[in-house]
Structure 1
């Protein structure tokens, strides 16, 4: 059977309405990369978004989500493939070939047992509707295989890419630390585990800067800082723009990321791109992504062990070849990810 002249793909980018999040980055960066490579695959794209998303993806072909879509979601008859970009997404058309990207099953580790069971059932329903599954890490894939039934559906791992800042270098960010500092970034939620970090400020003059959307969890971090008498050197600065983020990565003494629930861990790759000593947890996908290019905190985050690991890591880093870290970071390409997705779109469109 010959392929049609074009494969028409509708891609769910509804989560772009949440800036400064991992799903925002995933959807925008993947969309940008697909637009660059799609003609190699004779693919036509349309992006499912809310009106709030227009300013982030202004030049592409869109379908704006309506109230009717939220009640009864249908696609154009010419749509060959629908890409559901989030395992708990709301939009799954009937009688269409669906690619489902699964980022993680973090709810199994974060939520109450009752809530986790409900979310697990929802992901299973979405898997049942899909024709092809994609995980963003081998860990995420193995987690799905362990907890859910994929019914022998094709299941690939496609690593996220990493886009690097290319704008002007600023002289100082919105918050300018005094002296050396360590940096972390991510939505300020319990799964990010930031409260274990203030212990690293003992017996030194370092400042800890945490950037990202705030929540009530920041009070837990502050209370932990008070235990060590370092509350004045823990700065939770909220969301930041790309130029500020570039400054913090470029100028930090080290990057720290103690998260206990990740499907991938994009900030790890960003930090390695800047050639920084990067300290991460041994939980979920992070060892897979960090490999031997990172240093690892004690699995149980024992404060004394963490301080020792941090000190020893900084000393060891002086002997490292920074170019190896940078080369590794650059191996994570959104263009490569986009090509792999386009190949899946094409193969599904050809199937009866």
Structure 2
């Protein structure tokens, strides 16, 4: 079977979100003897390609052209030249209006429809860039022969907000990368602690810092818990968001215990999870919440918001809390740091739940979608 991927986002070195999904899926599909074609309008970053077997893919880079021309003309023409069986776009948008082969879209969430535009001024919603983005999404969603999504909650939102027939959607879970499954030696943990100057036990969060991630809620809960000799460590976010959270920490009297790491190296993340007292995910909206899988697989206790897909993915792998009542998270943090048996139980729950998520399973289920569509 020949499968072409819209791989243009792999031109960026970052390995978060959509790129992590794409690389892990490509890696496991290659073990199923699927011939992979990676299409882009820019050179693909060598750090991603290094994770794939050298003989498992062929790269096709288009000459310089406007994006819309690349997506709507070059992609289908290249599919025809390579005689591929399936064109798969793993990044929510990026499929042409017409194609010589069936098209599959991985639609991770419908955040734009549900959340992103709610608080924007009306004039920004009608900005040219937003209109173009909506058009690209509309074409991909409505012209795909089949849609893969990553949680039952996302599936229901796709049906509700986009009026996509249920039979056109398949749910296939993501998983943590294999790097999280490797045993972390003590020396590596100490190296990462030293690198980020983390001397005390800490509560951990990694991800975006935008409004829907609900980071001020976590900071306020940590301040109210008033834990002795415990830090709150936040990784991710953008430089311009740093000052706002730092000021909040100062106003709550926890400036010395709030560690804002910013963007951290992917290689350091497993150790940051493993050394944490717990991982807290207070997000208001997620399509899957991959960080839950990453934390669970290293045995890091997990507290997640009772919001969207997070309870579905977490299952019995940790505890959930209301994002409308801060006291629930406060009490969980206090219990975790004061009850060793409770902590040990959460470690075991996390490890057991992590066994439900595996990229080999994800790839086999994706292959079945390909076969059914053909």
Report the equivalent of 2:117. Answer: 111
Correspondence 1:44 to 2:35:
yes
Secondary structure at the aligned position of 2:170 is classed as strand
5 Å-filtered alignment, 1:200-215, equals: 200-202=222-224, 203-204=226-227, 205-215=229-239
Preserved contact between residue 33 and residue 335 of structure 1 (Cα < 8 Å): yes
Correspondence 1:312 to 2:338:
no
5 Å-filtered alignment, 1:132-281, equals: 132-151=146-165, 154-165=168-179, 166=182, 169=185, 170=188, 171-173=190-192, 174-199=195-220, 200-202=222-224, 203-204=226-227, 205-281=229-305
Secondary structure at the aligned position of 2:35 is classed as strand
Q: In structure 2, what is the Cα distance between the partners aligned to 1:36 and 1:54?
A: 20
Bigger helix share: 2
Report the equivalent of 1:76. Answer: 79
Report the equivalent of 2:363. Answer: 338
Correspondence 1:25 to 2:20:
yes
What's the Cα RMSD here? Answer: 2.5
TM-score using structure 2 length: 0.82
Secondary structure at the aligned position of 2:315 is classed as helix
Q: Output one character per residue of 1:218-272: Cα deviation in whole Å (capped at 9) or x when no partner.
A: 3332222122111222122122224421221111111111111210011111111
Gap regions ≥5 residues in structure 2: none
Q: In structure 2, what is the Cα distance between the partners aligned to 1:223 and 1:284?
A: 29
Gap regions ≥5 residues in structure 1: 1-6
Q: In structure 1, what is the Cα distance between the partners aligned to 2:24 and 2:8?
A: 14
Q: In structure 2, what is the Cα distance between the partners aligned to 1:213 and 1:319?
A: 30
Report the equivalent of 1:128. Answer: 142
Secondary structure at the aligned position of 1:51 is classed as coil
Report the CA distance between 1:176 and its aligned residue. Answer: 2.3
Report the CA distance between 1:52 and its aligned residue. Answer: 4.0
Report the equivalent of 1:4. Answer: none
Report the CA distance between 1:312 and its aligned residue. Answer: 3.2
Correspondence 1:348 to 2:373:
yes
Structure scoring higher RCO (CA < 8 A, sep ≥ 6) equals: 1
Report the equivalent of 2:48. Answer: 56
